[in-house]
Amino acid sequence: PSAQIGVTGLATMGHNLARNLARHGFSVALHNRTQERVDALVAQHGDEGTFVPVSSLEELAAVLERPRRVLVMVKAGPATDAVIDDLAGVLEPGDIVIDGGNAHFADTRRREAALKEKGIRFFGVGVSGGEEGALNGPSIMPGGDREAYQALAPMLEAIAAQVGGTPCCTYIGPDGAGHFVKMVHNGIEYADMQLIAEAYDLLRSALDETPAQLADVFETWNSGDLESFLIEITVRVLRHVDGATGRPFVDVVVDEAEQKGTGLWTVQTALELGVPVSGIAEAVFARGVSSHSGQRERARGLLPGPAGRPHVDDRDAFVEDVRKALYASKLVAYAQGFDMMRSANERYGWDIDRGAVATIWRGGCIIRARFLDRIREAYDRERELPSLLFDAYFTQALVDGQEAWRRVVSLATASGVPVPGFSSALAYYDALRADRLPAALIQGQRDLFGAHTYRRVDRPGSFHAGWSGDGQEEER
């Protein structure tokens, strides 16, 4: 028997991707460290396509068509390194190893370089959409050698989600570019979730309405610019009633948000690249604050704030203000995330096409949304657009929304409702558009205590002011 692709690592994601491949007519060799997973897949789903079970990596290499293609779906980290090492021992130059796990892009860059020395072509592939997506169509972000991609494209594009006949999979760039884009996707997801949560919190604080009633608000929003998977599931969560108590589900869940670390990676990377991703960072920090239960407990009885609900005269106008504030803040968060890709292109010599990324995020992944069509159009209009905020469509949304955004942040702040996502997005917006920033003062401070020099508005050069001595400015 022979197979067109092998999958090693048949836990949920590997299992479902293997089935997805088989359902699309590809013959799939199945391997797993413990044989039971192979046998179980064949027993339960063997009729869905052509599976070739194998019991060693040697056997896997023997049954695969050349160049061999092996999708590695084992635990991220040392396990992935171990399996890649073992594979390198049984593969030949020209073969392709694909890591479809949640690897850090720096690890992918390292692995790609190491395998290249052996002539093995390594792909780091971001796969978004969870279990369900893996089986029925994820968003796929492949990074690696462009020529090798030709040998993968038919398979990856077939199993990806499809939107209007376009697969949610496209070549992203060399080495770590695919996993980088997946990481940014997750960072944006953190920001989007935080902003939706702030909108809910404001509505809940200001209006005398139940979560189920507020679900109707989000449902209405879901028929406009905000239409997205995340708003859709927000409606479902808010409508959900706890079986045991009959209370709204959101009220029985402990309000401490957990995280697995991709938000952290995004922010760490952004700091290194020097890209201000305040929206993503605030979202990561907000989860952190929520989890500091000890400090929250003590603060609750100690630190004062305004009493009572935020005061709202016109309920419908307020709801519309919150919608606009959410949209504007979301726009900032996405603009910041896409800015990371621009910066990574410079740093790593990639050529990530941001319009193409928006296109493949329209389906299969967690942040899939109507909004991504607008982003794709923005990059169609100007491929090297420096910020999404400068695209005519989005600028208009900010013209229409900025007053509402300010009212919402003001009301929240005055009433003591925390809106770190909304307010930091607005601060970023105002900093970008400011005539003068107090950075000039900071430059003066730096020059005074450390002779770090400053530039002048009226002539070129670097200068150091005469803070001591004769007070004469000198050019440095």
Burial class (CB in 10 A: 0-12, 13-18, 19+), 25: exposed
Distances (CA, A) of 64 to 31, 86, 217, 346: 12, 16, 53, 38
Q: Which residues contact 33 (CB under 8 A, 6 or more apart)?
A: 9, 74
Shorter beta-carbon distance to ligand 2AM: residue 32 or 222: 32
Shorter beta-carbon distance to ligand 2AM: residue 10 or 388: 10
Tokens of residue 369, six digits: 């949304």
258 is catalytic: no
Piece of 71-79, 147-155, 181-189, 193-201 that binds ligand 2AM (CB under 6 A): 71-79
Count the neighbouring beta carbons within 10 Å of the beta carbon of residue 10: 24
Q: Show contacts with ligand 2AM in window 8-47 (CB under 6 A).
A: 9-11, 32-34, 37
421 belongs to the binding site for ligand 2AM (CB under 6 A): no
Name the one residue in this structure whose structure tokens are 């905000």: 226
53 belongs to the binding site for ligand 2AM (CB under 6 A): no
Which of 42, 62, 63, 79 is in the footprint of ligand 2AM by CB under 6 A?
Answer: 79
Q: In the 8-state DSSP scheme, what is residue 64? A: B
Would you call the peptide bond into 67 cis, given omega within 30 degrees of 0 as the criterion? yes
Shorter beta-carbon distance to ligand 2AM: residue 34 or 472: 34
Piece of 53-61, 73-81, 389-397, 444-452 that binds ligand 2AM (CB under 6 A): 73-81
- 107-144 as b/e: b if 16+ CB within 10 A: bbbbbbeebeeeebbbbbbbbbbeeebbbebbbbbbbb
Q: Which residue is nearest to ligand 2AM (CB)?
A: 33
Which of 1, 55, 82, 154 is in the footprint of ligand 2AM by CB under 6 A?
Answer: 82
Piece of 76-84, 232-240, 414-422, 466-474 that binds ligand 2AM (CB under 6 A): 76-84
Q: In the 8-state DSSP scheme, what is residue 390? A: G
Catalytic residue chosen out of the listed positions 112, 157, 182, 198: 182
267 belongs to the binding site for ligand 2AM (CB under 6 A): no
Catalytic residue chosen out of the listed positions 189, 198, 282, 324: 189
Which of 5, 54, 83, 286 is in the footprint of ligand 2AM by CB under 6 A?
Answer: 83
Task: Give the nearest distance from C-beta 105 to ligand 2AM in angstroms.
Answer: 20
Shorter beta-carbon distance to ligand 2AM: residue 24 or 33: 33
Q: Show contacts with ligand 2AM in window 300-339 (CB under 6 A).
A: none
The region, left, alpha or beta by phi > 0 then psi within -120 to 50, assigned to residue 67 is: beta
182 is catalytic: yes
Pairing of strands 121-128, 96-99: parallel
Q: What angle do CA 254, 260, 263 make, to 5 degrees?
A: 105
Which of 74, 103, 328, 360 is in the footprint of ligand 2AM by CB under 6 A?
Answer: 74
Q: Which amino acid is at 266?
A: T
> Which residues are paired to 8 by β-bridges?
31, 72
- Residues 125 and 204: their CA atoms lie apart, in Å, by 40
Shorter beta-carbon distance to ligand 2AM: residue 134 or 385: 134
Considering CB under 6 A, how many residues would be counted as binding ligand 2AM?
12
Contacting residues toward ligand 2AM, per CB under 6 A: 9-11, 32-34, 37, 74-75, 79, 82-83
Give the active site residues.
Answer: 182, 189
